[in-house]
């Protein structure tokens, strides 16, 4: 009765193993080592269980077919059981990113023992060292049957040592899978040894262990997929937030360049020049046109631009402002470094603040110093004026587009976002303001030297 129950269980497990193998073959990447091992393990186990049932069913039957199936079944029970030890050891090693020397030695010993057992099981067909089949087609244990259990026990023991040695590198599911592999086959093997049942119960134990292992593996895979989906959703949310931030930044940039007072002042200056100096008026109109073309191109640009291109835009702006301020606006350049990249419209708003909020509020005007240098693996740009200065800690309204803080904050955001740079502002009322832009040197990268 017990044998019939075990046979039914074996057939069910064998069918499930074949379904799992087919499932893995169809839906999973065959190049992955763990997938290959799972397919090999379950096909091997299905064959082992099927031939175990076949040998049990044909035991005592003396037809040619029964004798052949009995021989094949008994040999398969021993041979494939040892192959499964090797396969499961390989499977567990698939989950280790690196295999140390100790693990390699244990792996080689297990592989050696498994192959020795496979060879001995082949010799047992003729010598009967592990088993033999009598003339009535009945299975009997050989004189060295104990050796097969002894060597298998050593292999499983070494396998256990290997798993314990790498326990911190295995997930809880893999540790539990190994526990099942150790518990069920060994328990069934001990029961089989002391009870001469016609079927190899340890194979049934291996089958049950692998079923549980597969369920644990699929559960862990599902959890990983869910976690990956969460990460993808989180990354998408961050990307949306980043795009929104970039969109807001661009809108603020556009708003900062819409200066009706500046337009009015420049046009008024050109209007006056038309009566007193037509050539200068033509030049001013040309510079005015170039200035707004540069503005439009800068707003549409997504990446960094050469520093000299931004500097040209600054020079165009200062030319237009000098139409109004005349000699009250003095500019000094000290450029020892210019072969690097910078976000568009990053230097111009700083210079504009110096004119509008610094020198423009000073009756006698003043001087703007623009310098660039290479220092401490970074490109450093400094804009310094001797205007009226301001309190850098003074609260300001984010909605006040006329505030000098808004322009500086826009520049800070773009410098940080586009080239990992920084902007430092120091100012003293009645003395002036100094703005230092620092851009890390990324040689060979997009933002580095040209």
Alpha carbons 396 and 410: distance in angstroms, whole number: 14
Q: DSSP alpha helices (H): ranges in 301-363?
A: 307-325, 347-353
Q: How far apart are the first and last CA of the chain?
A: 85
What are the pLDDT digits (tens) for 194-236? 665 555 666 677 777 777 777 776 777 777 778 888 888 888 8
CATH class of domain segment(s) 2-233: mainly alpha
Pick from 280-284, 289-293, 435-439: least confident: 289-293
Query: Which CATH topology does 258-440 take?
Result: Heat Shock Protein 90 (3.30.565)
| Mean pLDDT for the stretch of residues 105-123 | 92
Residue 446 has pLDDT above 50, yes or no: no
Residue 355 near residue 367, CB atoms below 8 Å = no
Query: For the residues 50-68, what does the mean pLDDT come to?
Result: 87
pLDDT at 244 over 80: no
Task: Break the chain into its structural domains and give their ranges.
Answer: 2-233, 258-440
Confidence of residue 276 (pLDDT cuts 50, 70, 90): confident
Residue 448 has pLDDT above 50, yes or no: no
What angle do the packed helices 64-93 and 172-194 form, to 10 degrees?
150
Rg (CA), the chain: 41
Residue 385 and residue 433: Cα distance in Å, rounded? Answer: 6
Q: What is the pLDDT of residues 20-53, one digit of tens each?
A: 788 778 776 666 777 787 788 888 888 888 888 8
Average pLDDT, the chain: 80
Overall size of the chain counted in residues: 450
Looking at per-residue confidence, does 227 or 3 come out higher? 227
What are the tens digits of pLDDT across the range 95-113? 777 888 898 899 899 999 9
Summarize the confidence of residues 382-386 as an average pLDDT.
93
* Cβ count within 10 A of residue 263: 13
Tokens of 400: 């006040």
| pLDDT number for residue 171 | 75
| pLDDT for the residue numbered 78 | 87
Q: pTM of whole model > 0.85? A: no
Quick one: what percent of the chain has pLDDT higher than 70?
Answer: 82
Task: Compute CA distances 434 → 39, 350, 382, 408, whole Å.
Answer: 70, 10, 7, 12
What's the confidence (pLDDT) of residue 248? 60
User: What is the per-residue pLDDT for 19?
Assistant: 84
Mean of pLDDT values over 361-378:
90
Strand runs (DSSP E) across 74-184, as ranges?
131-133, 139-141
Closest CA to 437 of 368, 367, 414: 414
CA atoms within 13 A of residue 409's CA, in its CB half-sphere:
15
Q: Quote the tokens at residue 348.
A: 């111009």
* pLDDT score of 2: 58
Band of residue 136 on the pLDDT scale cut at 50, 70, 90: very high
Please check the confidence at residue 413 and state whether its pLDDT lies above 70. yes
* pLDDT at 283 (0 to 100): 84
Among the ranges given (46-60, 279-293, 414-428), the one the predictor scored with the smallest mean pLDDT: 279-293
Q: In this model, does residue 343 exceed pLDDT 60?
A: yes
């Amino acid at each position: 009765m017990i044998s019939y129950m075990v046979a039914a269980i074996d057939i069910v497990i064998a069918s499930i193993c074949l379904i799992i193998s087919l499932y893995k073959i169809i839906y999973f990447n065959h190049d992955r080592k763990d997938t290959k091992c799972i397919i090999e393990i379950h096909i091997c186990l299905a064959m082992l269980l099927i031939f175990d049932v076949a040998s049990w069913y044909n035991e005592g039957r003396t037809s040619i077919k029964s004798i052949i199936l009995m021989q094949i079944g008994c040999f398969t029970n021993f041979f494939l059981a040892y192959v499964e030890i090797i396969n499961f050891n390989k499977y567990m090693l698939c989950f280790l990113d690196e295999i140390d020397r100790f693990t390699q030695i244990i792996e080689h010993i297990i592989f050696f023992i498994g192959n020795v057992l496979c060879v001995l099981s082949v010799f047992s067909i003729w010598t009967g060292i592990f088993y033999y089949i009598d003339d009535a087609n009945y299975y009997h244990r050989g004189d060295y049957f104990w050796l097969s259990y002894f060597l298998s026990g050593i292999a499983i023991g070494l396998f256990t040592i290997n798993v314990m040695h790498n326990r911190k590198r295995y997930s809880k599911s893999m540790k539990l899978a190994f526990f099942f592999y150790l518990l069920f086959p060994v328990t069934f093997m001990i029961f089989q040894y002391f009870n001469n049942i016609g079927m190899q119960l340890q194979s049934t134990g291996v089958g049950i262990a692998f079923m549980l292992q597969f369920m644990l593996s699929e559960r862990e895979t599902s959890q990983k997929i869910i976690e990956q989906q969460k990460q993808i959703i989180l990354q998408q949310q961050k990307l949306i937030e980043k795009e929104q931030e970039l969109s807001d930044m661009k809108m603020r940039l556009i708003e900062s360049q819409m200066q009706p007072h500046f337009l009015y002042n420049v046009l008024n200056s050109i209007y006056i020049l038309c009566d007193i100096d037509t050539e200068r008026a033509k030049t001013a109109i040309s510079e005015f046109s170039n200035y707004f073309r540069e503005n439009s191109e800068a707003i549409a640009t997504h990446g960094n631009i050469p520093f000299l291109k931004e500097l040209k835009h600054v020079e165009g702006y200062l030319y237009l402002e000098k139409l109004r301020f005349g000699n009250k606006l003095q500019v000094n350049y000290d450029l020892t470094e210019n072969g690097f990249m910078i976000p568009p419209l990053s230097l111009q708003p700083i210079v504009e603040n110096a004119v509008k909020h610094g020198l423009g509020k000073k009756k006698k005007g003043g001087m703007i110093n623009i310098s660039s240098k290479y220092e401490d693996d970074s490109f450093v740009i400094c804009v310094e004026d001797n205007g009226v200065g301001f309190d850098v800690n003074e609260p300001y309204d984010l909605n006040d587009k006329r505030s000098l803080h808004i322009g500086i904050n826009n520049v800070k955001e773009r410098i940080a976002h586009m080239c990992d740079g920084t902007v430092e502002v120091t100012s003293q009322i009645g003395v002036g303001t100094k703005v230092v832009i620092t851009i890390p040197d990324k040689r060979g990268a997009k933002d580095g030297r040209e």
